[in-house]
Amino acid sequence: MSLRRWSVTLFAALVALVTIAPLLWMVSVSFMVRGEAAQFPPPLWPANPTLENYRLLFGTFGVGRFLLNSVLISTLATGLALLFTIPAGYAFAKLRFKGRDAIFRMLVAALVVPGQVGMLPLFLELKAMGLVNSYAGALVPWLAGIFGIFLVRQYCLSIPDEMLEAARIDGASEGQILRRIVLPILTPIIVTLAVYVFLSSWNDFMWPLIILADQDLVTLPVALAVNSRQNVQDYEIMMAGAVVTTLPVLILFLALQRYYLSGLLTGSVKG
Amino acid sequence: MAGLSIQGARKSFGTTEVLKGVSIDVADGEFTVIVGPSGCGKSTLLRAVAGLEELTGGSIVIGDRDVTSLPPSERGIAMVFQSYALYPHLTVRENMAFGLKIAKAAKSEIDDAVRRAAEILNIEALLDRKPAALSGGQRQRVAIGRAIVRQPQIFLFDEPLSNLDADLRVRMRYEFASLHRQLGTTTLYVTHDQVEAMTLADRIIVLRDGRIEQVGTPRELYERPANIFVAQFLGTPRMNILPATIGTDGRGALEDGRSIALPPLAAALGAGTPLSIGIRPEDIAIGNAPDALPFTIRFIERLGGLATLHLGGREGDEPIACQLRDDGNLDEGDTVLASLPPAHLHLFGADGQALRTVGE
């Protein structure tokens, strides 16, 4: 390897280390005894590793319930988002209907409006529908994201019309074409979208905070924020909470990153 | 199997009329090729037969069924696309079986149909591969296999050889011809390549600007083109067209002041009548003859056995192409004597329509 390549590799390794160090320390602190992390200088590794923080978290603070809420909401959000977004993106790319391009342009234009701007009107709407303080209310914003529709549409544009026409000649209905031809081809983008929606809804703080008032319904990030206010000195418990919040999505992402990356790259690589 | 009848087919995209009343009858078992320059509406016509485009006017009858408003799958057609349009995530076997599976055919029936088609096309060894692992020619064969499995009344081919290299195209052309002989299915084949049209067709339909220019066997179209467009579209190098007028002596006066003898039918035309004289490159005779004219060889294209001479009379005139066996004795800049035998001349009126062709 040349010197140039060595230096690039070294630089990349340093950046990776700086990025991952807080995560590693988070895990490390979560196994420390109370007060250990507050010493100066802070220790890198726990002197006597303990599961006490996790026991406290799941026992006294009832984090299991919040974890379940988060899993439920994120899973449902992902499923529902895929259910609505994929057919919509496909239709915008491949089906001919009146006003198709005008509607799509309008949707894309709406992308520039920050999500926070829509939160109050959305809240009032859901309040009128009686969905405030319910899982349903927490799920509504995820149903059909414009970004997802855009992503699916762009990918669908690369599917040749002739392939769909061949399926039509073969006697497939529009539903069968979507299920048996388009969906398998869309796999990389579906995985990408699923990971994206799951991560976003899992990490979402603002909307669950607004819409979910009942303590039994709140998600992990919200619960953790409340918890951190109560235990502001207890780094170890907070870090254990952070691990519980981060680890599931981290594992999901690592497991699917092969598809995720190929999905993100498709637009530029595919002709 | 069945015949195909298209009557008064019209199709507009917005204000652009692509098909302007096309009527075609294809006999049962016939191999008909629609040929024309790009944008002439040939693919649109084929797609209308397939049911992929709705006609603005006119009707399509397959066998004795009016299919004009039927969906593609109920028309009894199978189509092979230029891009093959194979399903990339399915194996060759699954690609070929897809239509029958959708129709919920029995597994044994599907297996039989796929095996038979694979045997015909010699692709049994490829059945478990995915399209990405096939060469262009193999993909084309799978696409044809998918069409055969449907046991259609009519095969539709949309420029199926355009994506193949020259060598493979010649081989696939031969395979198309023998496949048609074997299956005897009525076939409508669209191409812009006149060689494909000439070699494959029982009958050729020449289309231009959404209208039919001429219909006939390859030989008829080649020997008796109805107009200058057809005359020049079929044959490489294309037919030479020389603008001329009828001289007072009844001979054809060329623009460069020289004259040539015309076939007897020119006798009916009065002196001063403008016309275009057409002659195919291979019909020009080089050598001394009573009516031969001197020409300079401006350029020679040597093709091995054959050579195409580009002959110029005057500087600036469109050169006349002349094809002959290459004996290597001629060179650019040489002057040769060339005669245009009256028996091989095609005469076209000022409107470009054939006055009457040779041999009549």
- Minimal C-alpha gap between B85 and chain A (Å): 4
Helix (H) or strand (E) holding A39: none
What is the average per-residue pLDDT within A82-106?
94
What is the average per-residue pLDDT within B68-79?
94
Shared-domain flag, residues B302 and B202 = no
What is the average per-residue pLDDT within A100-124?
90
pLDDT reading at B264 higher than 60: yes
Left if phi > 0, otherwise alpha if psi is -120 to 50, otherwise beta: which for B245? beta
Residue A257: per-residue pLDDT = 78
pLDDT digits (tens, 9 = 90+) for A41-85: 889 899 899 999 999 889 888 889 999 999 999 999 999 999 999
CATH number at residue B282: 2.40.50.140
pLDDT reading at A33 higher than 50: yes
pLDDT reading at A261 higher than 70: no
Q: Do B102 and A160 touch (CB under 8 A)?
A: no
Q: Do A165 and B150 touch (CB under 8 A)?
A: no
DSSP letter for A133, please.
T
Shared-domain flag, residues B154 and B287 = no
Shared-domain flag, residues B220 and B274 = no
Cβ contacts (< 8 Å) between B87 and chain A: which residues?
A: 163, 166-167, 181
CATH class of A61-269: mainly alpha
Nearest CB to B102 within list A160, A162, A171: A171
Last residue of a domain, one of B233, B262, B281: B233
Q: Mean pLDDT for chain A?
A: 88
Q: Do B81 and A165 touch (CB under 8 A)?
A: yes
What is the average per-residue pLDDT within B121-149?
92
When pLDDT is cut at 50, 70 and 90, the band that residue B207 belongs to is: very high
Angle at which helices B136-149 and B166-183 pack, to 10 degrees? Answer: 20
pLDDT digits (tens, 9 = 90+) for B322-353: 999 877 788 888 899 999 999 999 999 999 99
Residue A232: per-residue pLDDT = 65
Cβ contacts (< 8 Å) between A166 and chain B: which residues?
A: 79, 81, 85-87, 146
Shared-domain flag, residues B292 and B192 = no
Shared-domain flag, residues B208 and B329 = no
CATH number at residue B97: 3.40.50.300
Task: Residue B165: give the domain boundaries.
Answer: 4-233
Shared-domain flag, residues B176 and B42 = yes
Residue A192: per-residue pLDDT = 87
Tell me the sheet residues that pair with B190: B34, B158
Shared-domain flag, residues B111 and B185 = yes
Which pTM does this prediction carry? 0.81
Shared-domain flag, residues B190 and B326 = no
Torsion angles phi and psi, residue A72, rounded to 5: -65, -50
Shared-domain flag, residues B87 and B115 = yes
Tell me which chain A residue has its CA closest to the CA of residue B146.
A170
pLDDT reading at A271 higher than 50: no
pLDDT reading at A264 higher than 60: no
pLDDT reading at B53 higher than 50: yes
Model ipTM value? 0.83
Last residue of a domain, one of B182, B212, B233: B233
- Minimal C-alpha gap between B306 and chain A (Å): 40
- Minimal C-alpha gap between A171 and chain B (Å): 5
- The domain ranges of chain A are 61-269
Q: Do B102 and A166 touch (CB under 8 A)?
A: no
Alpha-carbon gap, residue A152 to A193, rounded angstroms: 8
Alpha-carbon gap, residue B253 to B262, rounded angstroms: 10
Token digits of residue A65: 């319930």
pLDDT > 90 in chain A, percent: 56
Number of domains comprising chain B: 2
pLDDT digits (tens, 9 = 90+) for A149-171: 999 999 999 899 999 999 999 99
pLDDT reading at A220 higher than 50: yes
What is the average per-residue pLDDT within A173-178?
93
Last residue of a domain, one of B208, B233, B258: B233
